Amino acid sequence: MSNVVSALQGVSADGYVEVQEMGLQGMLTLRGDLSMAKLAKAVKAAVGVEMPKQRKINLNGQTGAAWMSPDELLLIMPHAQATATAAKLTKALGKTHSLVANVSDARVVFTLSGKGAREVVAKLAPVDMQALKKGEIRRSRMAQVPAAFWLSGKDEITIVAFRSVATYVFDLLANAAAPGGEVDAY
Amino acid sequence: MLILECPYCGVKAEETELHAGGEAHLTRHATGSTDDELKFYLFQRKNPKGVHFERWRHVNGCGKWFHAARCTMTLEVFGTYSAQTFEPPKALLSSIKAKRPDWQAT
Amino acid sequence: MSTRIPNTGRFLDKTAPATFTFNGKSLGGYAGDTLASALLANDQMLMGRSFKYHRARGAVASGAEEPNALVNMGADDRFEPNQRVTTTELFDGLTAKSQNHWPSLNFDVGVINNYVARFLPAGFYYKTFMYPRAAWKHVFEPIIRKSAGLGQAPKARDADRYEHFYYFTDVLIVGGGIAGLQSALAAGQSGAKVLLLEQTANWGGRAPVDGAQIGGKSADEWVTETLAALQALPNVTIRARTMGAGVYDHGYALGYERITDHAPEMDAPRHRLWRIRAKQIITATGAIERPLSFAGNDIPGVMLAGGVRDYLINWGVAIGERTVVVTNNDDGYRTALTLHKAGLKVPAIIDARPNADGDLPNQARERGIAVREGRGIAKVKGGKRVLGVAICLQDGDGGAREEIACDCVAMSGGWSPVVHLWSHCGGKLNWIEEHAHFAPDPKRPPLGDTGEGFVVTSGTASGAMDTPEVLKDAHLAGKAAAKSAGFTPKRSQAPKATATTEAAMAPVWVMPKNATIELKAKMWLDYQNDVKVSDVQLAAREGYESVEHTKRYTTLGMATDQGKLSNINGLAVLSDALNQAIPQTGTTTFRPPYTPISLGAIAGEARGEIFQPLRRTPLHAWHEDAGAYMEPVGQWRRPYCYPRGAESHEDAVAREVTNTRNALGLLDASTLGKIIVKGPDAGKFLDMLYTNMMSTLKPGRCRYGLMCSENGFLMDDGVVARIDEDTFLCHTTSGGAENIHGWMEEWLQTEWWDWKVYVANVTEQLAQVAVVGPNARKVLEKMGGMDVSKEALTFMGWADGTIGGFDARVYRISFSGELSYEVAVPASQGRAFWDALHAAGAEFGAMAYGTEALHIMRAEKGFIMIGDETDGTVIPQDLGLHWAISKKKTDFLGKRAQQRSFMASTERWQLVGLETVDGSVLPDGAYALAEGMNANGQRNMQGRVTSTYHSPTLERGIAMGLVLHGPDRMGEVINFGRVDGTLIPAKIVDPVFYDKSGEKQDV
């Protein structure tokens, strides 16, 4: 459908770090016992990656899986595939006690690009951004709302937040990335 | 501004990621309980000067509830542990006892 | 006069002159000046008026401890009061105004307080303004407020921006003097991550001023080299203009970085608040010199001896042409020697000690400076400026023997380590007799999360007074902190420094020792709060034995001083009056911040548009374009109504209600919470959460449910839909979704963790639209897709399908009493669906309605609203909701609590409808009066209004309320009170005002 829109429809801001809303991203919440082989197999079949370990995110191109808690994963895929993947996963899990929910539209995704990406996050989240490793997903808060983020490239961080506060998070990031705010502490 | 390690996701979370949930290991008293039992379940809370067992939720994080053993005077954290238990782990109790010989679990 | 001496001033950049104004007068200075040094260079000694007595005051210090010289800075949207001139860096274009005087700094009528000072003793306000009570509010307070206080509150919105920065480090070092630098080097060389903060723009602290020699070099050279060595370490971050403001639990510390204060033209955040977590904190905060208590020690021109030295060496400013030094220790002689070397006159050094024969006094004698042993200052002559001093015997009562003309008095009462940061989080102190000061006790540090100490002190802050000791202590502190943080320090030694020998100081708390009461009444202990020796002695006589009580009674050491200058002298005077030793008296509590930090820095980014998160639905932009008047619902913004043109809100709401009841209303219901509950035990779980039975609900059906706290009180409600055998979808109130989701998780994680249930909050995944009114079915059928007929989708049923090509889940539920469908589509398609509904609905009279129309329609139907009919003290039984409370279930959350005698009482107020006799609208929250008075002499009440509206449908006021025995009193008229005391009679009626049989919603 052509009138399917993300929260901020690709808005961006040029500061000393660039802030970009990434448009719609397919996302599923999977709740279940992550230690079960059956679950790992279903996840592999659905998004093509291994079961991520504690606080890890495994990405393979457009798809992937992120560890959200001991019984929750965030599965990532192109937006158009979310419904089909959810159905496929639900079917594969069958009677296994689990919950699959399409949360693609409940989210907003931003990237921060530039040398200061880490420090821009560190202005808003009580997290040691200097120590964040590649392949790690960190759930925390940004100012007054929950957010999750990971390093998605050299000097690039991807941030996921709730759709209803998309404008708030964008304004936060644009403000923190505004020229002149360079901390240069890392 | 405390720091508590979440036993579920392993993050050493600072207090602004956490939500305090009061005294731990309360027994839920429901239908059939006496007024006295209900009073202790709903209202009567320990307020010790010293070792205290508490509930916390890593609300701005993995979302899990967990338990913490903490000194209310020095703010020393003796340990954090799973919420899915009726009592503190034995090892934690002995380490508290080693540090605070006068302390009696109640 | 105070003046600039050419070719001096190690901080000055003479190639960068700066022009500034003080009280409108244009003055000149240089880059590197502070506002204090620049004012003094222009002979502007008078800088303000004191807080209580409006006495003329100038700077008494050169740094953060300055209590007097606070000014109003800037103008309009950059106006800020109470700025310390000694910590304000000069920039071109700076404007400052002195404060706390009227009509002018030179002539201030408030100074009258000075002459009636003996009528304004300690506790004056407490004693005087007690009766009559009404006089406080109308007479005393307005007058006191006008004449007291310091700067003015800014009126314009702050033009600057601010931010926070979370930083994690192994070792945080506060203070960039030689101790901080050496500690940073020792810690940094271990590989530990180190952050070093310095509050001023300059590194090295006092050592260069005091002429320290380190490793055969001048302190300045050593500082430059050490800074370079630190900059070469990738694990060390250094930050000037950043004050360590406070130390808190578990290694939390605040750093206050002033980025643009010295260069307002920069496009950058003005302040940055570093929210630091450190494994170990080193406080290398140096020491502060103590004033001496002699009569007139607050007259402009009386200054700390160290400050006089600083102004001369750092900024090339001579405070006076003739300076009398008064001291109880050898360090004061350094000032005399420095002044003498610069060619300035030192007519005498007044030393309170009976003998001064140390190295430094002898050097002074060799240069021909008169040293007067065993002497003190009886009194300082002058008003707005020092004119001279009267000299007396220190052991006497102040009978003056001679007078010396001078225009500056440099005083030194000894040095006290800055223990503030050590003490903020519980570090304990020892009294050090030798130096008459409190110093940190390394055995009793602040304790961190492991139960081990997390703060160590370094250098002078530890009580080390001479350079070799300072560096040795700093080196060990750096290594110790690195080790505690888990690193292995390198084997290394502190650099060697040249030792100086100083003879013992002698504690002198009152000068002269047996001063008369008249003299004591002019000896200032706390300049900022105008507390004198006589005030503390009076407090002691009046029975204030605890130092904390005396502090509050006299205001000693309160406010921004936080005991920097006043602490020890005040304690000593109190101890003397109580006839006990100083350690027995103890010290008051040091509280963060060390010096005040801006409110902007504390707020950080949270201002303007991002003051707080606003939640927006997928249809938010449409509402704004339609001119909706928005109201907050939790953090959501929802349309209250959609006024058209000049239409009033009341008229818009009436139009929306009428149109919905007669044609077709569309409501953005996306804010409703939506939580999936899934698993084999989902039914059992919901039976515990809701008061009614959910496990018996059939797939495809909906049921309205109530949730209570364990205390029995109603906390949320909503419609539950059973999706399949294992899956339910629970709707919560708007704004309740996160709480209820958390509530579910709490029970599943902490009580019933063996139950097989998972929950997921999908509130924001879906845009939800209520399609309401007689034409509701017509518009959905026109759009086409799934069967929404009465037979296919019955009342309280739901179905999945498509509507106009949109994937939709449709619920046949009604909160208005009309034929109603709630349609959920993916949020990304919400706007398109909403637009399509309006397009298709135009011919059926489709019109958006807001939350007020929603409220009125639900009230017309007698439906309760969480937060209106409930307030955290109301149980479902109060609201006549017995039908929604299962009698079959042995347990649900809140059931046991509802069995308590008070909850089961028939005396609890019950929900009823209310109709005013005259058709008017009852005031919201109004109480119904009963006969008689309660024990407090207040009128008894028998009920209150919980919801009240004008009903456009019934064309009269309708209300709901809780009334004593209400349901048994149908038809009775009771009186509700208005704020003005008049009464409104209202009849008790059934709460369902509209379509009592419910036939309209089931068509």
Task: From C68, C6, C5, select the one nearest C36 (Cα to Cα).
Answer: C68
- For residue A59, the domain's CATH number is 3.30.70.1520
CA distance to A71, A89, A111, C759, per residue, from A99 (Å) = 10, 10, 29, 8
- Are the Cβ atoms of B64 and A54 closer than 8 angstroms? no
Q: How far apart are CA A47 and CA A32, in angstroms?
A: 16
Interface contact C724, partner A, CB < 8 A? no
Q: What's at C675, amino acid-wise? A: I
Compute the radius of gyration of chain A from its Cα atoms: 17
Question: Among partner residues A69, A141, A146, which is closest to B9 by beta-carbon distance?
Answer: A69
Q: Is residue A184 part of a domain?
A: no
Residues 6+ apart with CB under 8 A from B80: B4, B5, B6, B7, B56, B66, B67, B68, B69
The nearest alpha carbon in chain A to C836 belongs to A3
Chain A residues close to C756, C-beta within 8 Å: 97
Q: Quick one: average pLDDT of A148-156? A: 97
Is residue C771 within 8 A of residue C813, CB to CB? The reply is no
Do residue A18 and residue A49 come from a single domain? no
pLDDT digits (tens, 9 = 90+) for C507-548: 999 999 999 999 999 999 999 888 999 999 999 999 998 888
Whether B9 and chain C come into contact, CB under 8 Å, resolves to: no
Instruction: Report residue A98 CA to chain centroid gap.
Output: 21
In C, residues 232-291, which contact A (CB 8 Å cutoff)?
237, 239, 266-269, 272, 275, 277
* Ranges of H-type helices in C445-565: 467-484, 517-520, 533-541, 547-554
Structure tokens at B98: 């080693």
Task: Please indicate, yes or no, if residue A131 is contained in any of the structural domains.
Answer: yes
Taking Cα atoms as reference points, which of C251, C199, C166 lies closest to residue C86? C199
Q: Do B11 and A70 touch (CB under 8 A)?
A: no
> Residue C610 and residue A129: Cβ atoms within 8 Å?
no
Task: Name the residue ranges covered by the structural domains of chain C.
Answer: 3-112, 162-287+417-484, 291-413, 517-579, 626-671+765-857, 673-763, 906-989
Ranking B7-16, C42-51, C626-635, C658-667 by mean pLDDT, the lowest is C42-51
CA distance A132 to C910: 57
CB-nearest partner of B60 from A69, A72, A140: A140
Per-residue pLDDT at C400? 77
Q: Which of residues 86-145 of C touch A (CB under 8 A)?
A: none
Q: In chain B, which residues have their Cβ closer than 8 Å to the Cβ of A66?
A: none
Domains C162-287+417-484 and C291-413 share a fold: yes
pLDDT of residue C142: 63
CA distances (Å), A26 to each of A86, A134, C166, C383, in order? 10, 22, 31, 77
CA torsion angle for A110, A112, A113, A117 (degrees, to 10)? -160
B83–chain C Cβ distance below 8 A for any pair: yes
The Cβ of residue C342 has, within 10 Å, a number of other Cβ atoms equal to 13
Cβ contact C989:C912 at 8 Å:
yes
Looking at the fold, whether A86 and A129 belong to one and the same domain comes out as: no
Query: What CATH number should be reported for the domain holding residue A125?
Result: 3.30.1360.120
| Mutation to test the A interface, candidates B8, B11, B62, B64, most A Cβ within 10 Å | B62
- The Cα–Cα gap between C975 and C986 comes to 6
Do residues C326 and C394 touch, judged by C-beta distance below 8 A? no
CB burial of C751-771 (b: ≥16 within 10 Å; e: otherwise) equals: eeeeebbbbbbbbbbbbbbbb
**Looking at residues C802-811, what average pLDDT do you find?**
97
- CB-CB contact of C243 with C136 (8 Å): no
- Chain mean position to CA C35: 28
Contacts with C745 from chain B: Cβ below 8 Å: 63, 65
Q: Give the residues across from C730 on adjacent strands.
A: C675, C720
Encoded tokens for C585: 């008296």
User: Which of B8, B9, B16 is opposite residue A141, by nearest beta carbon?
Assistant: B16
pLDDT digits (tens, 9 = 90+) for C925-983: 999 999 999 999 999 999 999 999 999 999 999 999 999 999 999 999 999 999 999 99
Task: Reduce the DSSP state of residue C108 to 3 states and report it.
Answer: strand
Do the bridges between strand C162-174 and strand C271-283 make them parallel or antiparallel, or are there none, so unpaired? parallel
- Distance (Å, rounded) from C-alpha C567 to C-alpha C436? 12
Q: Please count the other Cβ atoms lying within 10 Å of the Cβ belonging to residue C254.
A: 23
**DSSP secondary structure code for residue C882 in this structure:** G
Q: Who contacts C795 (Cβ-Cβ below 8 Å, separation ≥6)?
A: C812, C814, C1001, C1002
Question: Which chain A residue lies closest to C763 (C-alpha atoms)?
Answer: A106
Chains sharing 3 or more CB pairs under 8 A with chain B: A, C
Which ipTM was obtained for this model?
A: 0.98
Residues C517-579: name the CATH superfamily: BFD-like [2Fe-2S]-binding domain (1.10.10.1100)
Which residues in chain B are closer than 8 Å to C252, comparing Cβ atoms?
A: 1, 14
Please give the pLDDT value at position C127: 64
Task: Tell me which of 3.50.50.60, 3.40.80.10, 3.40.50.300, 3.40.50.1380 is the CATH number of domain C291-413.
Answer: 3.50.50.60
Q: Are residues A120 and A165 in the same domain?
A: yes
Q: Which residues contact C943 (CB under 8 A, 6 or more apart)?
A: C909, C927, C928, C961, C962, C963, C964, C966, C974
Q: Are residues A110 and A172 in the same domain?
A: yes
**Does residue A186 belong to any structural domain of this protein?**
no
- List pLDDT tens digits, range C813-859: 999 999 999 999 999 999 999 999 999 999 999 999 999 999 999 99
Q: What is the CATH number of domain C3-112?
A: 3.10.20.440
A152/A154 Cα distance (integer angstroms): 7
Give the DSSP letter of residue C111: G
Tell which of A105, A124, A150 closes a domain. A105
Instruction: Note the pLDDT of residue A1.
Output: 46
| Chain C residues closer than 8 Å to B65 by CB | 745-746, 749-750
3-state secondary structure of A97: coil
Return phi, psi of residue C98, to 5°. -70, 160
Domain annotation covers residue A2: no
Task: Note whether C517 contacts A: Cβ–Cβ < 8 A.
Answer: no
Q: Please indicate, yes or no, if residue A96 is contained in any of the structural domains.
A: yes
Say yes or no to pLDDT of C24 above 90: yes
Domain boundary among A49, A83, A105: A105
Fold of C162-287+417-484: FAD/NAD(P)-binding domain (3.50.50)
Residue C128 has pLDDT above 90, yes or no: no
How many angstroms away from the CA of A29 is the closest CA of chain C?
A: 8
Exposure string of C849-871, with b = 16+ CB inside 10 Å and e = fewer, is bbbbbbbbbbbbbbbbbbbbbbe
- Residues from chain B contacting residue C751 (CB–CB below 8 Å): 28
- Tens digit of each residue's pLDDT (9 = 90 or more) over C972-997: 999 999 999 999 999 999 999 999 99
Distances (CA, A) of C510 to C507, C516, C942: 9, 11, 68
Q: Does C680 touch chain A (CB under 8 A)?
A: yes
Burial class (CB in 10 A: 0-12, 13-18, 19+), C357: exposed
Q: Using CB atoms, which residue from B16, B60, B62 is nearest to A68? A: B62
3-state SS, residue A36: coil
pLDDT at C426 over 50: yes
Neighbours of B10 (CB within 10 A): 11
Secondary structure of C583-609 in HEC code, one letter for each residue: HHHCCCCCCCCCCCCCHHHHHCCCCHH
3-class DSSP state of C310: helix
Output phi, psi for C549, to 5 deg: -70, -45
Smallest CA–CA distance, residue C181 to chain B, in Å, is: 28
Distances (CA, A) of C923 to C862, C944, C951, C984: 18, 10, 14, 9
Domain boundary among A56, A90, A105: A105
What is the distance between the alpha carbons of residues C533 and C518, in angstroms, rounded to a whole number?
11
| Tokens 């509950």 belong to residue | C677
* pTM across the whole model: 0.95
Q: Which domains does chain B show, CATH number per domain?
A: 1-24+49-106 (3.30.2270.10)
A83 shares a domain with A37: yes
Q: What is the pLDDT of residue C106?
A: 76
Say if residue C216 is exposed, middle or buried (CB neighbours under 10 Å; 0-12, 13-18, 19+). exposed
Question: Is the bond preceding residue C132 a cis peptide, omega within 30 degrees?
Answer: yes
A183 found inside a domain: no
- My answer on whether A98 and A69 are in the same domain is yes
pLDDT of C148 = 53
- Exposed e or buried b for every residue in B31-43, given b needs 16+ CB within 10 A? eebeeeebeebbe
* Length of chain B as a residue count: 106
Band (pLDDT 50/70/90 cuts) for residue B85 is very high
Contacts of residue B43, defined as CB under 8 A and 6 or more positions apart, other chains included, come to: none
Rounded Cα distance, C737 and C729, in Å? 12
Cα atoms found within 13 Å of the Cα of residue C181, Cβ hemisphere only: 26
Q: How many domains does one find in chain A?
A: 2
- Which residues, other chains included, contact C636 with Cβ-Cβ below 8 Å and sequence gap of 6+? A164, C614, C615, C616, C617, C671, C734, C735
Please answer yes or no on whether A144 and C612 come within 8 Å at the CB atom: yes
Q: Show the CA angle centred on residue C528, arms to residues C305 and C519, nearest 5°.
A: 70
Q: What pLDDT does residue C528 have?
A: 85
CA–CA dist C922, C480 (Å, integer): 71
Structural domain includes residue A89: yes
Residues A84 and A49 in one domain: yes
CA dist C906 → A79, C707, C710, C874 (Å)? 57, 22, 21, 14
For residue C112, pLDDT beyond 80: no
Nearest CA in chain C to A123: C165
- Please say whether the beta carbons of C571 and C404 come within 8 A: no
**B3 interaction partners in chain C (CB closer than 8 Å):** 250-251, 277, 449
Same-domain check for residues A95 and A111: no
Q: Quote the CA–CA distance of C660 and C652 in Å, as a whole number.
A: 12
- pLDDT band, very low/low/confident/very high, at B84 (cuts 50, 70, 90): very high
Chain A: nearest CA to C807, how far in angstroms? 11
Name the percent of chain C lying above pLDDT 70. 96
C313-350 confidence digits (pLDDT tens): 999 999 999 999 999 999 999 999 999 999 999 999 99
The residue range of the domain holding A149 is 12-22+106-176
Domain boundaries C626-671+765-857, corresponding CATH code: 3.30.1360.120
Alpha helices (runs of H) in A31-148, residue ranges in sequence order: 37-47, 82-93, 117-122
Question: What's the average model confidence in pLDDT over B10-35?
Answer: 96
Arithmetic mean of pLDDT, C626-650: 97
Do the chains contact at B76 and C277, CB–CB below 8 Å?
no
Task: Give yes or no for residue C185 having a pLDDT over 80.
Answer: yes
With tokens 């420090």, the residue in question is A119
Interface of C with B in 744-803 (CB under 8 A): 745-746, 749-751, 753
Q: How confident is the model at residue C113 (pLDDT cuts 50, 70, 90)?
A: low
User: Which superfamily is assigned to C906-989 in CATH?
Assistant: Aminomethyltransferase beta-barrel domains (2.40.30.110)
Write out C336-381 in H/E/C secondary structure. HHHHHHCCCECCCEEECCCCCCCHHHHHHHHCCCCEEECEEEEEEE
Report the candidate in A170, A30, A53, A9 with the shortest Cα–Cα distance to residue A103.
Answer: A30
pLDDT (average), residues C100-115: 70
Domain spanning C673-763, CATH architecture: 2-Layer Sandwich (3.30)
